[in-house]
Amino acid sequence: MRLLHTMLRVGDMQRSIDFYTKVLGMKLLRTTDRPEQKYTLAFVGYESNPDQAEIELTYNYGVDKYEMGTAYGHIAVGVADAYQTCANAKALGANVTRDAGPVQGGTTVIAFIQDPDGYKIELIQRGT
């Protein structure tokens, strides 16, 4: 078994694609529009399956906002430099909710940013 993708419902497809490609440096891997079923999909990631898991962005026609449940936590992304990634994200207008720094009680450098729909993304510094 392997993890294939995580699906996130989004309120504005282009805004979300821009966030994941421009702020997080992912690639737009493929899109599917299903007008009869009233939804559009976009898959983003650093590589396609089966090499890496992807994020499936789902836009349901006419829905521009979702309630954020209390069970959802975050998606984690490994980055070479969390400080620089946060600086770049801020320059692009992204919401950095926790600046880069060591995790409480440890030395691993982490940060948190939020996508346009409110989903949290943890940046974990992994080095190069």
Catalytic residues: 122
Helix (H) or strand (E) holding 27, with range, is strand 27-34
Alpha-helix residue ranges (DSSP H) falling in 20-122? 82-91
Which whole-number Å values give the CA distances from 90 to 2, 23, 44, 94, in the listed order?
A: 33, 9, 21, 5
93: left (phi over 0), alpha (psi -120 to 50) or beta: left
* 8 Å CB contact between 3 and 50: no
Count the Cβ atoms, other than its own, within 10 Å of residue 111: 21
- Alpha-carbon distance of 27 to 54, in angstroms, equals 10
